[in-house]
Structure 1
Amino acid sequence: MTKKNRHAAKPKRVAAEAPRIEASRSSIDVVSTSYHVTDADEIVKSSRIINIPNRNETVDKPMFSNQTFDNYAGMNYDRLAEEEAPVSEEAPKKKYKKTEPMKEWLDNRESFLSEFLRMEGLPDGKLYCARCKTSTSDSEAESIFRCTDCDSLDILCRECILYVHERNGLHNIEMWDVVGCFYSKTSLRLLGHKYQLGHPIGEACSAPEHGYSGTFTVLDINGVHNVNLNFCGCTTEQLRYLQILRFGWYPATVNMPRTAITLRLLRFFHLLSFESKSTVFEFTQTLHQLSDNTGMVLIKDRYREFLRMMRQYRNLKSLKRSGRGHSPNGAQGTSAGECAVICPACPYPGINLPDGWKDAPVEKQFLYRLFIGLDANFRMKRRMISSQAADPSLSNGWAYFVEEVDYKAFLREFGTLIIQDSSTCSNHDAVNKNRSLDGFSASGVGTCDDTRHDMKRPCSVGDLQKGERYVNMDYLFFASFKPAGRELAEVIVSYDIACQWSIKLWARMNSYPNWMHVDHADTTTFRFLIPKFHLPTHTRPCQTKFSFNFNKNVGRTDGEGVERGWARINPLAASTREMGPGSQRDTLDDHFGDQNWNKSTKMGKFEAVKEANDRTATHAEFTDGLSEKDVNEWIASLNAWEDDHQLTNPFEGTYKGISQKAIRLRLAEQEELDAASGTAFVMHEEISASRLLTMGLEFEIQQDRMLQDFTDMTLHATDDQKAKWKLRSTSLRLKITSWMEVQQMYIPGVYLLRVNHANKISNEGQEETAVYDIVLHLPSSIFPHTPCDKRLLELEWDLRYAQCMDLLDELRNALCLRAYVLLDKKRFQRGQRANTRSQGIVDRIRAKVERAAARYRKGQSAIEKLASYLEKVAWDNHLLQLKDGDIRSLSPEDFSASEGRRTVSWIWIHNVGEGSNDLNGRLHESLRIEWCKSRARRDRWVEEVELLQEECRRIHSFFDYRSNEWKHLCDDSDGTVGLLPKDLSLQLAEDDQEAPEGQPAGYTVVLEV
């Protein structure tokens, strides 16, 4: 029997605890219980028994198994255990009938349509006031009105419509036309409504100053309005623009204002622009349509006024939220970056770092490091519109953009002095190209972000003039440390060209002004890494030396936070490119602030504990199956490399794969020795057995190309194209025919096969076999039905094996190239011409991938047939069957799981060959590399747990510090009392919730037990 929940109006909170498993037991049976709320607001539960293995058997130190977590909602139940809802013992699952709202609406569509038509007429066809109940004759019907903005469409008389709208003078009013039997638009102004400023609504002014009767314009959410308005001229007289502000409107000008916007409209558009990226022009056009959608009425155009007021409103909101209104120095005393919303989880000495953090043990120092990243966005370019003098920035370096005058002076001084060397790694466009554009004053925007929490840093954004030049990015990099960050012990810097940019960074710094100098040798250590998505396009040495996955003490940081930030900003590109310099910077500053605010309020749930346990158990299991001596050697090598990247890299292999050229050379040398000893297998004076099979494999490739070219020829191919293909076909046919004559000497049985095939074609009356369909009858395709010398089988095995290894290399290279081209296309290629050209390149690479995959499958199939007879073993550890799902690159676009969670496609792992005395060495090296990667995955997740716990502690310390700052501002001007409690309630909202013992408050992780 279920019990009624007497706390139905409150959140349902249930205490739960993860089971503890004794070390001596291999597993334990536990009861898993789930709860749900019924329609009757009752909580019922259902239970089932599950078996849980004891991970303590494989993990030496179970690090997180004794913590309590909710594996359903991601919340720690200890924090929600204040009240436990009564639950029923058992209840059958109730089946709910599936609803179909659209079908139900279709069944009632006529009723909806009738009601819409009814709204266009008189209710019940009667003329009477719904408030005073006064009836009106047809001759007096012009005095019947209704409001389309009120909650009800009641009909009211003139007196009542004015009375109920004394405080809603901006509502839209309609009047009933008895002749035409329809509603026509009118206004409260025409009915006699008038605003009196300077006094509460309803209070008369002893000396009203008549304003602009019928000419004062107010923009509100429901349209553009002309209003009657009186200013106050009595003893409480104030400046007119202040009277407008205190009424809740925002004046367009300070002197003699004639236009205003309601504050609710400014707030509405402010938030709308963040979510939809709407422009002021689009929004004002919408207001015009709301005011009159017929085009018959001339609506006053207030686009420029709205644009100007919106910029001012954004600036005032920024100053207000940063506390500048409480400062004695006001807005003019604002320092660089002070209006920025800073990350509460980042380390700030003296604010949210614990006492003695500098003296923490070496293995814990990484908890107090800063993660930043640089990148450029070439979508955010700006045309040569206006100038700094005509359109200055209102924030002037107070938020995220650097101060423009100093920035441009620095570029003029050092722009020609800094020599940018070409890339010695991959072909990086950011390094090798100057992206200056005709007609544009800025080719893009550069930034230096917090990549750990995906937030913009103060004074870290600036325009680019000629691409991603070092001189621009250097300034932004050092400027981001100017407000704070120079006291930290270590900084992790990620940049997609870090391998090039960091080489001479400190040499360039020495030539810059003193304020840009940082103590990178003694005070702060800088480590440079490459974001995970960009890493595969770099050379192999960079892919380990600069990898987040293989460098210690970085957790699961990926360095791609800058790219994620651009995703929300990119829709602004179409509007900001047409702005002046100041307007663009102010708009982007505002959107960066909203992005930071949203991020700081949504730092929530993670799965680090679960993944750390999984990776720890997996690595322990892997290690148990290896030699203790080898593991100890690898641990020493990996630890040494993590401390000094100049040492031998344990993630890189030293063995090279066997290529077809190497195999051919080896076979030629062997044939030379056999000929000298008189044991050579030669049936033709010019073509040896190995040469015969090599030519056969080459003919296979040429046949595939001929088939592809024939398929690519359209029905409208020119005579010249057809002639060229025919000549190539004839040439290849003659070569194959000559080759077949020699083949019959080595494999006499193929003669009978070809005769039988020719007779079959003749009897069926088929046409001549196309050149790409000629069967070559290589040993692997005819054995064992046709006798063949075992030495030929051995030769084909060697050649096929090397061929497959080469094809895997070709496939990997093509996949890497495709990932790079797609990245370049996404980031840099704009316009139909550039995108068409890039897509053509992608299509050619895709065709190359498909050809390599098809040839590999054919070669692997031949090897599989030969292996059983030749008794080859372990070959399928390296040459696996290639499925469509295996053909994926390492980039996120082609691979859904990250390095920390992945099981990599075998084509990126099994790349060592057999066929030599180095087999044991290759396998040993492959094991070492995979073991190092396994330990790296485990370590990164363990570090992530520790970093998250420390960051949660820092968040609370940060808001405590900021709350104390606000409390010291309580004795300032009017408005402080109203502003302060709201801000404090936001920052201290979670302080009332006690943290579980041994765990920081607010820290949420997910653990599946």
Structure 2
Amino acid sequence: MPAFEIHNGKRVRVGGRSGVAGYSNCLDLDDDFEVIVSHESSISARGRLVQAPPSPQKGRTTWVIGDSWSLKDDTEIFLDPTDQWYDEELQGEIYESRVFQQAERETPAKKKRKRSKVSKWPHIVWKDLYRSEYLDELLRLEGRGKYRKETSCPDCIAHSKGDASALGTPSVQCRDCFLDDLVCPACCVRRHRREPLHRIESWNGDYFEPTTLRNIVPGHQEFKVLHGNGIHHVALDYCGCERQLPKHIQLLRRGWYPASQHVPHTAASFQLLEFLHMLSLCAKSSLYDFYRTLEKLTVNTGIDVPKSRNKALMRMLLQWRHLKMLKRGGRAHFNDGVVTTGPHNLAVLCPSCPCPGINLPEGWEEALPELRFLYVLIICMDANFCLKNQMVSSYSCNPGLRIGLGYFVPQEAFDTFVLNHTSDEDISTCVGFAVLAKADTKFSKVRLVNLHKGERYAPMDYVFGSTLMTFTGLLQVIISYDIACQWFINLSKRMAAWPTKISGIPQANLTPTIPKFHEPAHKQENHQEFSCNFIKGMGNSDCEVPERLWGPNNQIGNSTKTMGPGSRHDVLDDTFGFWNWMKYVTMGLPEKLIAEWETVCIQWENDGFPKTVENPFAVNQDYMSEVEVEKELEAEEQERRRQGGHVLHATSADKFIVLALSLEESQRKVRELTAQHKNPTTRQGTSLKEQHSILKDKLRNWLILAIILRAIYIPGLIQYLTEIGEPSGEHGDENPEDVKLWLPSHLPGDRRRVVCMEGLPAIEERLRVAQCHDALNGIRHTLRLKTRMIHFRNKNTRGQRPSTRARAVIDGVHQRALAFATKYRTARTAKLALSGPGEWEDTLLVLENKDIRSYTDVERKKRGLGCRGNNEDNDKPTHAMMSLDFRGNGNTNSGTRLGN
């Protein structure tokens, strides 16, 4: 009876020809050590163990981004899906692509300059070394300092010429002078004849108390001056000679702006008004808060607070705004320039809007049809719901400094036009959009109006007509308005009833359009003609310019809503003028920068292949890889030895850390492999035991070397472990992947400097940062590969069995991304332990499993509810995030996101 043996689930005749085709799989556990090899074996007819020879070890397969993500075509793939080598062929198609091959570096990496401790941790250095010194110096300024033993005024000594009886007692100090010396009251007054707005303090025997020059030497008329350092009481004496000027002129020539003209008692310095003006334009802060700041700078106790001059300061600032607009508009160079200023002469016009005779070339009217879009005027109109005005005062009580010189239309003509059209009906023909009678202020490129009762046609017609009157001779005008589909229908009929001031509109081709953001709220029927996407010459313009203007300027509405109508117009004119000016000066780039950029681009384009000149389009990374950091550390060590540095051991400190991190990587890989096979089969269990055995050998060799190196680079480790009751690590552990290697990051911060050699934590920190960036790059490259594989599967794989196997391969690729994530988390935890919290946390963020996905992940683009797969890493349930697509009543605003 023939003898049989069981092999791979089949009976094989003993002594017959072996039908076992042995093959082995290699797991690249660590680059510096060995590889773990799994193999097949069988028992021969004589009872001996026959082992199949291992396959040759393949080269390193770490992946980097390749030149192309297209997979290599294989004519044999998918021809026989039932073949036993189908899985090997599919995995080889993926893993042996250029994506996984290390690209050789053609140019050496630039050496990154090492940052100093002050640059990396400025607050920590200041806290540890300088905080007490700063506090002592601040307290020293509260006293007399080095002048506490002085008995004579230094200025008196300089002017006395040896007369000891003329020396005064030093008791007065100025807080604003550069020199902090003590002088007598008389010398202090003499010093401040040209600096009357300095803050003076007098020594009372125990401390300095605030005083004024007027209290030291009584003067004439009492006068209050508002300055950037507080509110000052000044004794003022006007010029009274025969050529005397009016008092307000004398104050203006000294840089003080008077609050009144005949008998002024209050003034503000030009420096204060200039600062407050720019602060209101940039920060949109209120004048009330700023005046409270001046009061606190003067008296911070709430006792003897100066009488409020808030209204006077508001009046002076409003006049200052208006004068600045007149000055920058060039009206001071004309005879009677203020009186002869016409409407909108103080507005800062847009240099991009086409104006014949100003910025258009000769013969622009005869331009080719495909070039006429260059000379098209786009007028954008939109409502604002934030710049509203309360019922405060009236135009008769607060007419302003003259409405209409800037961006608002003249008020009288506008009010007359609106009152004549109060009975007009504004019919909404688009049920998907209804915003009538809800807006407050309207702004176009040159015109602003106040709406009396919401967004009605009459004020919109007036602002459109007055705007179009400034652009004469144009051939085509595009009008952007959020309800242009209904406003433009009867526009020509309403134009016939317009007044003569706005009725002379040039004969231009008017094209209405709806801004892109507002378009989805309209009906779809017959609205394609209003779409910006289908108007010739529009390009990518979205016509949402007013929205970008309202956003930064809506903050000023908190201040203007309580103003009178005239003052409110003046403030808004100044605010929008500043906006236009900032937009004007930031439209272009410096000529020198443009010339340099063009030179570099032309040189790169004209260079042959391969290009050797500087690439202006390359994005330089601001970090170093782990290999680059190792090379840099090695170069620094060689330079240190070249300069005569002491060599502690043949294995330098940086190599010691590199070996430890390499062993840590091996532990992490074995730990992940163990977690994947919690219930291993017999074959998997044998493989895991072999891998644990190899790791134990590596760990044993490491510990033999670490005994010597730890005594050199971590000399206090044994004592520290003894204190905390931890084993030193030389014992045999059942799980070698859990053995702690005791690097500097494993030690508490207060003991690290004592236990470790100086500079060792910095070496590990640099390597940990490089590990973080390498891990993130690995995640990115793996996700790109995963996306490519998913597209490849969807295009080529059919049937349940091939799809399941392809899914298994894709899951294996995703496990590589998770392995990189584990490496990143370990390195980031070590970085946090070494450096502590800081600005680096804004770059190296906390990584969660739900973040490990590509921005083009096709699996996460699916709408609606789906089955939860094996590879879903989000901790939240799948139904917690859904996409609702509302498609009813003409509403096409889709894609609304709802989430936990």
TM range (shorter): 0.5 to 0.7
> What secondary structure is seen at the aligned counterpart in 2 of 1:325?
helix
The residue number in structure 2 matching 1:630 is: none
The residue number in structure 2 matching 1:114 is: 136
State how 1:859-1008 maps to structure 2 within 5 Å. 887=883
In 2, are the aligned partners of 1:128 and 1:134 still within 8 Å (CA)?
no
| CA displacement 1:248-283 (0-9 Å, x = unmatched) | 111111211111111111111000001111222222
Indicate yes or no: 2:429 matched with 1:423.
yes
Structure 1 residue 344 displacement after superposition: 1.6
Q: Distance in 1 between matches of 2:455 and 2:521?
A: 18
The residue number in structure 2 matching 1:94 is: 113
The residue number in structure 2 matching 1:350 is: 357
State which structure, 1 or 2, has the greater radius of gyration over its C-alpha atoms.
2
The residue number in structure 1 matching 2:448 is: 461
**Change in CA separation of 1:91 and 1:130 when aligned onto 2, cut-off 3 Å:** farther
- Counterpart residue type for residue 155 of structure 2: C
Q: Distance in 2 between matches of 1:533 and 1:353?
A: 31
The residue number in structure 2 matching 1:202 is: none
| CA displacement 1:582-630 (0-9 Å, x = unmatched) | 0111111111111111110111369x999xx9xxxxxxxxxxxxxxxxx
In 2, are the aligned partners of 1:548 and 1:558 still within 8 Å (CA)?
yes
The residue number in structure 1 matching 2:203 is: 176
> What secondary structure is seen at the aligned counterpart in 1 of 2:371?
helix
Q: Distance in 1 between matches of 2:384 and 2:450?
A: 10
Q: Distance in 2 between matches of 1:176 and 1:141?
A: 14
Structure 1 residue 235 displacement after superposition: 3.3
Indicate yes or no: 2:487 matched with 1:490.
no
- Counterpart residue type for residue 429 of structure 2: S
The residue number in structure 2 matching 1:365 is: 372
The residue number in structure 1 matching 2:294 is: 287
The residue number in structure 1 matching 2:518 is: 534
| CA displacement 1:124-182 (0-9 Å, x = unmatched) | 33335785385999xx997411111223433233243223322111110001111xx11
**Change in CA separation of 1:594 and 1:128 when aligned onto 2, cut-off 3 Å:** farther
The residue number in structure 2 matching 1:556 is: 540
**Change in CA separation of 1:889 and 1:281 when aligned onto 2, cut-off 3 Å:** farther
The residue number in structure 1 matching 2:858 is: none
Structure 1 residue 294 displacement after superposition: 1.0
Indicate yes or no: 2:176 matched with 1:149.
yes
Q: Distance in 2 between matches of 1:261 and 1:577?
A: 25
**Change in CA separation of 1:95 and 1:237 when aligned onto 2, cut-off 3 Å:** same
State how 1:231-630 maps to structure 2 within 5 Å. 231-416=238-423, 418-428=424-434, 430-431=435-436, 434-435=437-438, 444-449=440-445, 457=446, 460-482=447-469, 484-519=470-505, 523-541=507-525, 544-604=528-588
In 2, are the aligned partners of 1:377 and 1:445 still within 8 Å (CA)?
yes
Q: Distance in 2 between matches of 1:366 and 1:559?
A: 15
**Change in CA separation of 1:346 and 1:106 when aligned onto 2, cut-off 3 Å:** same
RMSD: 3.8
Q: Distance in 2 between matches of 1:322 and 1:163?
A: 42
Q: Distance in 1 between matches of 2:527 and 2:589?
A: 30
Please point out which of 158, 162, 172 is paired with 2:189: 162
Please point out which of 121, 124, 137 is paired with 1:103: 124
Q: Distance in 1 between matches of 2:208 and 2:896?
A: 73
In 1, are the aligned partners of 2:344 and 2:404 still within 8 Å (CA)?
yes
Q: Distance in 2 between matches of 1:887 and 1:351?
A: 52
**Change in CA separation of 1:855 and 1:554 when aligned onto 2, cut-off 3 Å:** closer
In 1, are the aligned partners of 2:343 and 2:406 still within 8 Å (CA)?
yes
Query: Runs of 4 or more off by more than 4 Å in structure 1?
Result: 49-53, 88-91, 128-131, 133-137, 140-143, 858-861, 882-890, 904-908
| CA displacement 1:46-94 (0-9 Å, x = unmatched) | xxx99899xxxxxxxxxxxxxxxxxxxxxxxxxxxxxxxxxx9996332
In 2, are the aligned partners of 1:370 and 1:491 still within 8 Å (CA)?
yes
Structure 1 residue 565 displacement after superposition: 0.7
- Counterpart residue type for residue 191 of structure 1: I
- Counterpart residue type for residue 94 of structure 1: R
- Counterpart residue type for residue 328 of structure 1: N
> What secondary structure is seen at the aligned counterpart in 1 of 2:181?
coil
| CA displacement 1:332-382 (0-9 Å, x = unmatched) | 111110001111222111111111111211211111111211111122121
In 2, are the aligned partners of 1:379 and 1:570 still within 8 Å (CA)?
yes
In 1, are the aligned partners of 2:382 and 2:443 still within 8 Å (CA)?
yes
**Change in CA separation of 1:293 and 1:888 when aligned onto 2, cut-off 3 Å:** farther
Q: Distance in 2 between matches of 1:349 and 1:883?
A: 60
- Counterpart residue type for residue 511 of structure 2: R
In 2, are the aligned partners of 1:176 and 1:183 still within 8 Å (CA)?
yes
| CA displacement 1:564-583 (0-9 Å, x = unmatched) | 11112211112211111101
- Counterpart residue type for residue 123 of structure 2: M
State how 1:643-658 maps to structure 2 within 5 Å. none
- Counterpart residue type for residue 423 of structure 1: T
In 2, are the aligned partners of 1:493 and 1:527 still within 8 Å (CA)?
yes
The residue number in structure 2 matching 1:968 is: none
Indicate yes or no: 2:216 matched with 1:191.
yes
TM-score (norm 1): 0.47
In 1, are the aligned partners of 2:482 and 2:515 still within 8 Å (CA)?
yes
In 2, are the aligned partners of 1:169 and 1:193 still within 8 Å (CA)?
no
Q: Distance in 1 between matches of 2:138 and 2:180?
A: 12
**Change in CA separation of 1:860 and 1:227 when aligned onto 2, cut-off 3 Å:** closer
The residue number in structure 2 matching 1:979 is: none
Identity %: 36
In 1, are the aligned partners of 2:381 and 2:546 still within 8 Å (CA)?
yes
In 2, are the aligned partners of 1:315 and 1:395 still within 8 Å (CA)?
no
In 2, are the aligned partners of 1:426 and 1:539 still within 8 Å (CA)?
yes
- Counterpart residue type for residue 114 of structure 2: K
- Counterpart residue type for residue 427 of structure 1: F
Structure 2 unaligned spans of 5+: 1-64, 70-106, 602-798, 801-860, 870-877, 887-892
In 2, are the aligned partners of 1:223 and 1:287 still within 8 Å (CA)?
yes
- Counterpart residue type for residue 99 of structure 1: K
- Counterpart residue type for residue 125 of structure 2: E
In 2, are the aligned partners of 1:189 and 1:214 still within 8 Å (CA)?
no
In 1, are the aligned partners of 2:257 and 2:268 still within 8 Å (CA)?
yes
Structure 1 residue 518 displacement after superposition: 4.9
> What secondary structure is seen at the aligned counterpart in 2 of 1:232?
coil
In 2, are the aligned partners of 1:391 and 1:583 still within 8 Å (CA)?
yes
In 2, are the aligned partners of 1:162 and 1:193 still within 8 Å (CA)?
no
TM-score (norm 2): 0.52
- Counterpart residue type for residue 514 of structure 1: T
| CA displacement 1:866-903 (0-9 Å, x = unmatched) | xxxxxxxxxxxxxxxx999994989xxxxxxxxxxxxx
**Change in CA separation of 1:585 and 1:529 when aligned onto 2, cut-off 3 Å:** same
Higher alpha-carbon deviation: 510-519 or 217-226: 510-519
Q: Distance in 2 between matches of 1:177 and 1:314?
A: 44
Structure 1 residue 191 displacement after superposition: 2.5
- Counterpart residue type for residue 470 of structure 1: Y
In 1, are the aligned partners of 2:168 and 2:184 still within 8 Å (CA)?
no
Structure with bigger RCO (C-alpha 8 Å, 6+ apart): 1
Q: Distance in 2 between matches of 1:129 and 1:152?
A: 17
